[in-house]
Amino acid sequence: MKISSKLIAGLACALAVALFPAHAQETVKIGVITDKVGPAKPYAEPITQGIEVGAAEINAKGGVLGRKIELMIEDDQGKPDVSATMARKLVDSGAVFILSVSLTPATQQAQTVSLATKTPQMTPSNSGDTLTTQIDNPYFWQTGPLGSIQIATLLSYAGTKNYKRAALVSDNSDLGQLLARFFRSGLEKADIQVVSEELISRGATSAEPQMQKVRAANPDVLVSAGVLTAENVLMLKAYRQLGLKMPLLASYNFSVPVYMSVAKGLLDGVTFVDAYDPAKPEVKAFEATYKRVTGKDPFNLHGYGYDGMRLVADAIQRAGAVDKEKIKAAIQATDFAGVMGAKGMKYRFPAGKRTGFDPNGMVVRVYEGDRQGRVVHVGQGKPQ
Amino acid sequence: MRDFLELSVSAAASGCVYGLVALAYLLMIRPTGIVNFAVGELAMLAAFGGYVTHSLMQLSYPAGLAAVLLVMLGVGWLTERIAVRPLLERGAPILAPILALLGMLVIFRESISLTFSPDPYPVPYAFGFGRLELGPLSGSYQSFFIIATTLAVFAGAWFFFERTVAGKCFEAVALNRRAAALMGINLARVTTLAFAAGAGAAGLAGILVGANISAHYLMGVPLAIQGFTALVIGGVGRVEGALLGGLLLAFAEQLTVRYAPIAAGYAQAVPFLFLMIFLLVRPTGLLQAKRVA
């Protein structure tokens, strides 16, 4: 049978299409290490959602350097060894940047991989001060508000109240212990005597023994450095049950909106440090974007992830290439206004530093009834 | 003295919760020899049930409590049918259902984790957040409610095992499964009832303590550890041992935190210290099973 030349050409084209698929558009691969099942999940989940919204917004505007962002999300279960394994997996899969939003020890362990592979890594949310000091890793940055900044902001506010004696309460999580250390050190430097230091264990069924000790010590103020929400609520319940009247100053954990439902009726007058000023124009724009994309209202934790994603995209854009060394240089030169922080705050990394949250960028707010109320203090020296 | 008496109410309430979890273990261990480490997760399920019935379904507290306990009886029954009976009927060693129940632990926890957000959820109080003073004693309404409810449950459990034929069947199976079967006792029914009742006891613990600690997906393991420690202290042989063990553990915990001149962090080692001491010195627990004359 004679086969026409046209038929042969058509078959050849079809074969070529089948064997050689169209060259897929390259993406910019950003790795995200989160905690989907472990103790960091209450924080990591909304932060990851913020990253996803940030990436979606950037892709809707054409991506970065003409390429879409591809998020590769891995779950480290809050475990340091798994976090390092996931970091290695992401690097091997082509990630040019890693965002870590799990527990502080897990982020720390993942740094061993970012250092060894010279892959830029950033945590937009972890507040452990030791993340940039324990390992000399020029490929790691931290834009979460440091525990030391939190305590300095709270102390700046406390300084306006002339407190002399403080009780300090924390929990037995790694971050809670780290924050308690910084809070204690900060209180002592401010000449505020720590007359009682109590710890509420994860899984405790009562905080009355600890609050009785606080009551017996008769402090001017109670400072909460805990980061476990359920245990903080337990402490708050005991505080109210035992009729304690001294003011309660709390870490930024109290800024998580869940307190308004799980500690209803118990919050009025509690002051807490936060990195989210709802009156800020960038916050209003973010809330509108998030609602449009997801149909839900965001809260402060979403903002960390959203800022982290946009900051990374900004760095890649300024780097001009998807090259790890160029991205590293660009990150270090960041000058970025995000959602988080007080009005006017920008993320910047001073020379030789890899922490980018402005020391004057936190605010102190007060619960009014069960609602997160107004800002009463900004940074480390500006009372409202 | 005021602090001590105030603390006694708080410790008694916590002890009652530990006692209920220990009772859950005991009800399942006695007739089957199976340790169900998922009891903590059963308590967690009930705490979330409390949130759902009160906050989402708007049921009254009594109706919500009854609904949750009924569901927990069903969960216990289902657990036995899925994870225990098939293995026992195939003659599997005792370790097999224990491992299967560890699998159920993961299933329960991850189901909740995927259904709800990772944040804690409010569980209703029986009589609100107020405080009650009974003579020299003072404590929250919930603490007194936990104590009263637990005493009623243990009184009922004691009556069941000591004064009813069904309870005697339980004891017979606990003493000798083969002989009990030969005497015509339906082993499968006793096992099912044990798991259902155990889930009910764990569920009651969860919904009672959930009002204080909130419902969250990680609340199960600490309760399981505390309940198991209470069981070891009190002994597996008698129902009242579970309550005694729970009370001793809770008092030791809270009095240590309040009065011991040691760093707060060390006080959390108290349950494990107790566990080790009792396993070494008195592994059968404080109360031994009654011997037949």
Q: Which two tokens stand for residue A90?
A: 């992401």
Q: Which residue of B has its CA nearest to A199?
A: B264
Residue A254 DSSP one-character state: G
Does the CB of A370 have a partner CB in chain B at under 8 Å?
no
Q: Which of A337, A331, A358 lies closest to A139, judged by CA?
A: A331
Q: Which of A37, A172, A229 sits opposite B119 (nearest CB)?
A: A229
CB B254 within 8 Å of CB B26: no
CA distances from B120 to A228, A261, A339, B214, B219 (A): 10, 9, 26, 6, 9
Chain B residues in contact with A228 by the CB 8 A cut-off are: none
Cα A239 to Cα A224: distance, rounded to the nearest angstrom: 11
Q: Number of C-alpha atoms within 13 angstroms, CB side, residue A170? A: 21
Nearest chain A Cα distance for residue B14, angstroms: 6
Cα B157 to Cα B167: distance, rounded to the nearest angstrom: 9
pLDDT at residue A188 is higher than 70: yes
Does the CB of A213 have a partner CB in chain B at under 8 Å?
yes
pLDDT at residue B13 is higher than 90: yes
pLDDT at residue A19 is higher than 80: no
**Quick check: B214 and A172 CB within 8 A?**
no
* Mean pLDDT value across residues A265-289: 94
> Could you tell me how many helices (H) and strands (E) chain A has, helices first?
12, 15
Query: Among all chains, which residue has been given the structure tokens 């009682």?
Result: A196
**Quick check: B265 and A240 CB within 8 A?**
no
- A221-224 and A248-250 strand pairing: parallel
ipTM of the prediction: 0.91
Does the CB of B184 have a partner CB in chain A at under 8 Å?
no
Cα A170 to Cα A184: distance, rounded to the nearest angstrom: 11
pLDDT of residue A79: 95
Best-predicted range by mean pLDDT (A3-7, A35-39, B54-58): B54-58
A–B CB contacts, 8 A cutoff, strictly below: 98
Does the CB of A78 have a partner CB in chain B at under 8 Å?
no
Chain B residues in contact with A37 by the CB 8 A cut-off are: 110, 113
Q: Which of B129, B213, B264 sits opposite A198 (nearest CB)?
A: B264
Per-residue pLDDT band at A21 (split at 50, 70, 90) = very low
pLDDT of residue A76: 96
Chain A residues in contact with B140 by the CB 8 A cut-off are: 241
pLDDT at residue A295 is higher than 80: yes
Nearest chain A Cα distance for residue B123, angstroms: 8
Beta strands in chain B (DSSP E): 131-134, 137-140
Cα B192 to Cα A310: distance, rounded to the nearest angstrom: 56
CB B39 within 8 Å of CB B224: yes
Cα angle, residue A253 at apex, residues A282 and A335 outer, rounded to 5°: 35
Calculate the CA B117 to chain-centre distance. 25
**Quick check: B219 and A203 CB within 8 A?**
yes
pLDDT digits (tens, 9 = 90+) for A318-368: 999 999 999 999 999 999 999 999 999 999 999 889 999 999 999 999 999
**Quick check: B254 and A39 CB within 8 A?**
no
Question: Helix (H, G, I), strand (E, B), or coil: what is residue A4?
Answer: coil
pLDDT of residue B162: 86
Q: What mean pLDDT, rounded, does chain A reach?
A: 91
According to DSSP, the residues that pair with A71 across neighbouring strands are A30
Q: Is residue A355 packed enough to be buried (19+ CB in 10 Å), middle (13-18) or exposed (0-12)?
A: buried
Does the CB of A169 have a partner CB in chain B at under 8 Å?
no
pLDDT of residue A20: 45
> Could you tell me how many helices (H) and strands (E) chain B has, helices first?
13, 2
pLDDT digits (tens, 9 = 90+) for B180-215: 888 888 888 889 999 999 999 999 999 999 999 999
pLDDT at residue B134 is higher than 50: yes
**Quick check: A262 and B268 CB within 8 A?**
no
**Quick check: B219 and A201 CB within 8 A?**
no
Q: Which of A31, A126, A73 lies closest to A324, judged by CA?
A: A31
Q: Number of C-alpha atoms within 13 angstroms, CB side, residue A367? A: 26
Amino acid at A5: S
User: What pTM was estimated for this model as a whole?
Assistant: 0.81
Question: Helix (H, G, I), strand (E, B), or coil: what is residue A35?
Answer: coil
Cα B62 to Cα A249: distance, rounded to the nearest angstrom: 37
Q: What mean pLDDT, rounded, does chain B reach?
A: 90
Q: Which of B162, B158, B163 lies closest to B240, judged by CA?
A: B158
Cα B1 to Cα A298: distance, rounded to the nearest angstrom: 49
Element housing A171 (H / E) = strand A165-171
The interface residues of chain A toward chain B in range 224-283, judged by CB-CB distance below 8 A, are 229-230, 233-234, 237, 240-242, 256, 258, 261-262, 264-266
pLDDT of residue B203: 97
CA distances from A250 to A184, A367, B153, B290 (A): 13, 11, 40, 53
**Whole-angstrom Cα Rg for chain A:** 24
Mutate to test the interface with A, among B48, B56, B119, B146 (most CBs of A within 10 A): B119
**Quick check: A206 and B254 CB within 8 A?**
yes
**Quick check: B218 and A45 CB within 8 A?**
no
CB A314 within 8 Å of CB A334: yes
Cα A138 to Cα B231: distance, rounded to the nearest angstrom: 53
Cα B125 to Cα B137: distance, rounded to the nearest angstrom: 20
pLDDT of residue B119: 85
The interface residues of chain B toward chain A in range 229-258, judged by CB-CB distance below 8 A, are 250, 254-255, 257-258
* Mean pLDDT value across residues A30-52: 93
Least confident of B107-111, B170-174, B223-227, B262-266: B262-266
Question: Helix (H, G, I), strand (E, B), or coil: what is residue B129?
Answer: coil
Cα B227 to Cα B245: distance, rounded to the nearest angstrom: 9
CB A211 within 8 Å of CB A202: no
What phi and psi, each to the nearest 5 degrees, are found at residue A289? -60, -50
Q: How many CB atoms lie within 10 A of CB A204?
A: 28
**Quick check: B120 and A258 CB within 8 A?**
yes
Q: Which two tokens stand for residue A132?
A: 């940039």
